[in-house]
């Protein structure tokens, strides 16, 4: 099931990015709900919020280390709570989705634009939800043992 979740997130991320790249030009914005939510094609040279721009090699190396660590620790992850286990899988899927972009062009394709937040993509959502799920698992487990 974890492999299926990983593949669905990764394929969905890459398919939507491909659709955006094929149908839009960088900087183009299509309103879905005017002044609230747009699909905006942005090529991000950095990390979240554009931090560390043009450091592709750093992000590629960090992604490779993350994949290696996941593969090494995965046998132990299978014995963790479902929230932690699947949170790690979602985090990895998002990281790999953005890593593919960085290897391909050095830039990450972003497109969800809520006008009050930096533009982001499906991989970013997977990363955030994965980390949130892991934090929840850690806090919930600690709360259980404290009672």
**Enclosing H/E stretch for 10:** helix 2-23
Give CA torsion, residues 105, 121, 8, 69, to 10 deg.
70
Residue 146 is a catalytic residue: no
DSSP string spanning 105-142? HSSEEEEEE-SSS--B-HHHHHHHHHHHHHHHHHHHHH
Q: Is 90 exposed, middle or buried (0-12, 13-18, 19+ CB in 10 A)?
A: buried
Cβ proximity of 93 and 85 under 8 Å? no
**Enclosing H/E stretch for 104:** helix 82-105
Question: Which entry of 13, 101, 113, 124 is annotated as an active-site residue?
Answer: 124
Per the structure block, which two tokens stand in for 86?
């699947």
Residue 113 is a catalytic residue: no
Question: Which entry of 101, 110, 113, 146 is annotated as an active-site residue?
Answer: 110
Residues marked active site are found at 110, 124
């Amino acid at each position: 099931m974890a492999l299926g979740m990983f593949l669905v997130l990764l394929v969905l991320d890459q398919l939507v990015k491909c659709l955006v790249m094929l149908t839009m030009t960088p900087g183009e914005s299509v309103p879905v709900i005017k002044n609230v939510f747009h699909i905006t094609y942005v090529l991000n040279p950095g990390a979240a919020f554009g931090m560390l721009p043009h450091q592709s090699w750093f992000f590629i190396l960090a992604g490779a280390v993350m994949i290696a660590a996941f593969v090494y620790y995965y046998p132990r992850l299978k014995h963790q709570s479902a929230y932690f286990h699947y949170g790690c899988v979602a985090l990895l899927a998002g990281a790999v989705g953005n890593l593919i972009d960085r290897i391909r062009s050095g830039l990450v394709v972003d497109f969800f634009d809520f006008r009050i937040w930096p533009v982001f993509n499906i991989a970013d959502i997977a990363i955030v939800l994965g980390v949130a799920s892991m934090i929840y698992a850690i806090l919930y487990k600690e709360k259980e043992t404290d009672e």
